[in-house]
Amino acid sequence: MKQTLLAAAAALVAAGAWAQGQPVKIGLLATLEGPFAAGGADGMRGAELAVKERGGMVAGRKIELVKASSDAKPDVAVNATRKLVEQDKVDIMVGPLSGGEGIAVKDYSKTQPQVTFINGASGAQGTTLDSPSPNFYRFNTEGAQWMVGLGQAALDKGYKRVMVIAEDYAFPYSQVQGFMAEFCAKGGKVPVKAWVPLGGKDYSSVIARIPKDVDALLVVLGGADAVNFLTQYENAGGDKPMLGGSITVSQDVLNYRGKRRDSLVGTLSAGPVADSYDGAGWKAFVADYQKTYPVSSGAFPSPSLFAYVYYTNMKAALDGLDAVKGDLSGNQAKYREALQKMVLKTPTGDVRLDANRQAIGTTFVTEVVKDAQGNLTTKVSKKVDNIDQLLGMKKEDFKTGTRDVPACP
């Protein structure tokens, strides 16, 4: 009996020493290939910035980042995640970036209950709204939440009829739903939706379909897709004013070069960040980003949406580890409890989680402007706090966004 007790005590001491002394391995997945490659690289910068702020340590343990790349395809993201979890044996996963990837990785997380999964930047509603995973956490608001306020702003601008041009996958469905929920409820009409393939190169047929009687275009394209569309629309002589999806006016798109770039000035959008927001936390975050990643290194004049969201989710992962003093024992039960209860201090305000482990937070309605250096940035028009995933609706009235829902032709 005495030997058994001594062995048990020794095991407890060893476990405590491991928790305090061994590195914590965090898998980091972003799209370093495909249409969102530039955003993925900036997402990596944001996540790394959260680690660098702590000197690479958390709760007495060294942070070991194990990085992987995807290309916005769900199967590629799952395969990369599987390698990080099953071969590299990471303790925590942060990622992925794109909406379809997020749903796929959420589903995979259910098969790996020993690992805690924290989102990267993926923003599809279904990741947390439909069949949520008990070990998948998202500390960023999602695509529909990001669009709150833009419908009213469009109507205030006199845009009563709007055509949608968006990529054909889960995240843009969420963005369009977030816009249309308000826009349609207040009398706006969306007579045409054009869903285009992710990674598309030719937008001529879509441009030819634009009705003469629409007041504006809602464009929900990101990365290279957005740049390709804008260039072709410019070359075709397109002159309709635009409303932008959150990723359409992110820094990775605003920094492309072309005539249409200048005509983006005045474009209304909405999302989780606004470049010119004057909150103290945001200004400090921007200054840290610019100091750590100067433009000469390939970074952007201001952190993109992807940098901010990856930073936020990595910060949550590390704050949670601090809260439990690095203890990931018992299938990480204490750690997950700390994440669920956390009120996360982010550069744009406090974030808390709902019962599905989905963020409740802030959205900005913005306008694209040109700064003194000639860079395009987004200026705050309106700030909306405490947006939940049901957008303030009753559960029975809420419908997840799809290609066909909502509709107000």
Residue 253: other Cβ atoms inside 10 A: 26
Residue whose token pair is 């809420």: 398
The answer to whether the CB of 59 falls within 8 A of the CB of 322 is: yes
Q: Which of 153, 161, 144, 206 is nearest to 378 (CA)?
A: 153
Could you give the CA distance from residue 215 to residue 317 in angstroms, rounded to a whole number?
44
pLDDT at residue number 20: 56
The reported pTM is 0.94
pLDDT at residue number 21: 75
pLDDT at residue number 155: 99
CA atoms within 13 A on the CB side of 292: 20
329-341 and 305-323 helices cross at what angle (nearest 10)? 120
The answer to whether the CB of 243 falls within 8 A of the CB of 218 is: yes
Residue 128: other Cβ atoms inside 10 A: 26
- Print pLDDT tens along the chain (409 aa): 445 444 444 444 434 434 457 999 999 999 999 999 999 999 999 999 999 999 999 999 999 999 999 999 999 999 999 999 999 999 999 999 999 999 999 999 999 999 999 999 999 999 999 999 999 999 999 999 999 999 999 999 999 999 999 999 999 999 999 999 999 999 999 999 999 999 999 999 999 999 999 999 999 999 999 999 999 998 999 999 999 999 999 999 998 766 556 778 999 999 999 999 999 999 999 999 999 999 999 999 999 999 999 999 999 999 999 999 999 999 999 999 999 999 999 999 999 999 999 999 999 999 999 999 888 999 999 999 999 999 999 999 998 999 999 999 9
DSSP 210-278: --TT-SEEEEE--HHHHHHHHHHHHHTT----EEE-TTTTSHHHHTS-SHHHHHTTT-EEEES--TT--
Which amino acid does the sequence have at 174?
S
Which amino acid does the sequence have at 290?
Q
Please, what sign has the CA dihedral across residues 268, 269, 275, 277? Answer: positive
The domains found in the chain, sorted by start residue, are 2-140+280-360 (3.40.50.2300), 145-277+363-397 (3.40.50.2300)
pLDDT at residue number 340: 99
Q: Are strands 92-94 and 24-31 parallel, antiparallel or unpaired?
A: parallel
Q: Which of 221, 230, 295, 252 is nearest to 39 (CA)?
A: 252
